[in-house]
Amino acid sequence: MSAPVIWILVPFISGILILLFFSERYSSLAGGSISIILALTALIFPIDTALLLGAISLKISSSVQFFGRSFALTTADGSLLVIIYGLSALWFFGTQASGIANRFVSLGLMIVALLTASIAVEPFLFAALLLEIAAMLVIPLLVLPFQKPGRGVVRFLIYQTLAMPFILFSGWMLAGVEASPGNIGTTTQVGIMLGLGFAFLLGVFPLYNWIPMLMEEASPYATGFLLWALPTFTVIFALGFLDRYTWIRNSPQLSSAIQYAGIFMVVSGGFFASLQRHIGRIMGYAAIVETGLLILAMSLKSLEVVNITFLLLIPRGFVLALWALSLSIIKREAYSLRFSEIQGLARTYPLAVTALILAHLSMTGFPLLAGFPSRIALWQELAGQSLTIAFWMIMGMFGLLIAAVRTLAVFVMAEDGKAWALNESWIQMIMLGVGASGLFILGIFPQILQPLLTNLPALFNHLGQ
């Protein structure tokens, strides 16, 4: 059995079977269980290494050929697969608590399988096409049957589609740059086209206007899954570019452009979040800030660039899942997520409100929560390179903190004498409790991630050197 079959084909086929044969009640359990099994398999069985179980020898081969393309997952990908499918299990187990349709699990498994294929395909430029196919599969999650797509959905699809020609054409031009790296005109053109492609993919300022729109139009849980999955694999794809092409990695102009793009996202996202009166849009701007931090991490001239990037990526999955679940529970009660509609809900949905505020504070880098270690590590590296950039990063976090305080104030503004009640279902209580506990565990004991982070730099042979 080959690794691509186990971690790409199996979840993709499982998603199709769940869509056809499983009811909403059991799809969450099936999808979460499959993801847990895949994560544990990646943790226990190293790829391309023979294991003896008594008289039986087991070996998972690393590659497979499909339609003339090679898909390869190496031993170094094991930790990454544990992270991907472990976080996917959290999202899938939460679907029943969020109350969304069973097609989330089936389409979610197919999307994760396609995104995993994007990091395994060779030549690696075909990853851009797989990212586009995954983006198209997201649309049925965001738009209900017979419902007209909103402006946010349309803009999302347009921007993701526009990214493809830029990345594919720049990949074609990169061959010429490798042959004559001294041609400054060609390298400048490639850098601009590559930057535009990833700007559309990641929603770099000012191309992120679809994110707050989507948080108003679509299900918060489905949108949260999108904001976790696609940027995560796009960042890994971008790290692959930086690792493969030395001139990109060593270009001071491109490094500065990446850094300024990241800090613009952090500052503008934090500023706009502090002005919002819709808690869904606040989450959207917080996700923009998080993406800006990932871009800042990729711009570092440090040996820790890979570790810091993944230290940001792992808690991001926990935070967005908990935040999106809390929003879904609140939206079923309040219908609208505007401040005027959610006022005083802390007394009727205390667990959902508590989890939402904890997720929000974690995104700001509040001490003892999951986002704190990664932000401290990133801030220390940035301070060593530019105190100005480090200062503006703090300003962006301060904007998110203002938004958190305003949100909390609205939640606790209840009428005098209004009784406290616990209206969350038992499955919602369990999932909210697991998510909140994960935030504290990752914040207080970040060293538990060290076994996973240790092997991740092996995915990129040249970054940080």
Q: Could you state, in order of their start, the residue ranges of all structural domains in the chain?
A: 1-122, 123-446
Higher confidence at residue 69 or residue 315? 315
Highest mean pLDDT (candidates 36-45, 116-125, 284-293, 410-419): 284-293
Q: Return the number of other C-beta atoms located less than 10 Å from residue 207's C-beta.
A: 17
pTM: 0.91
Highest mean pLDDT (candidates 3-7, 186-190, 395-399): 395-399
- Confidence (pLDDT) at 326: 92
- Confidence (pLDDT) at 400: 93
Q: Is the pLDDT of residue 282 over 90?
A: yes
Tokens describing residue 23:
């009811």
**Weakest-pLDDT range from 78-92, 366-380, 386-400, 414-428:** 414-428
CA distance 87 to 81: 10
At residue 152 the predicted structure's pLDDT band, cuts being 50, 70 and 90, is: confident
Contacts of 382 (CB under 8 A, 6+ apart): 296, 300, 389, 390, 393
* pLDDT, tens digit (0-9, with 9 covering 90-100), for 368-403: 999 899 999 999 988 888 888 999 999 999 999 999
- 136-161 in b/e form (b: 16+ CB < 10 A) is ebbbebbbeeeeeebebbebbbebbe
CA distance 89 to 333: 26
Tokens describing residue 407:
């949100």
- Confidence (pLDDT) at 179: 53
Tokens describing residue 359:
């997720």
Higher confidence at residue 53 or residue 138? 138
* pLDDT, tens digit (0-9, with 9 covering 90-100), for 239-273: 888 877 777 777 777 788 888 999 999 999 999 99
Q: For residues 290 and 363, is the Cβ–Cβ distance under 8 A?
A: yes
At residue 54 the predicted structure's pLDDT band, cuts being 50, 70 and 90, is: low
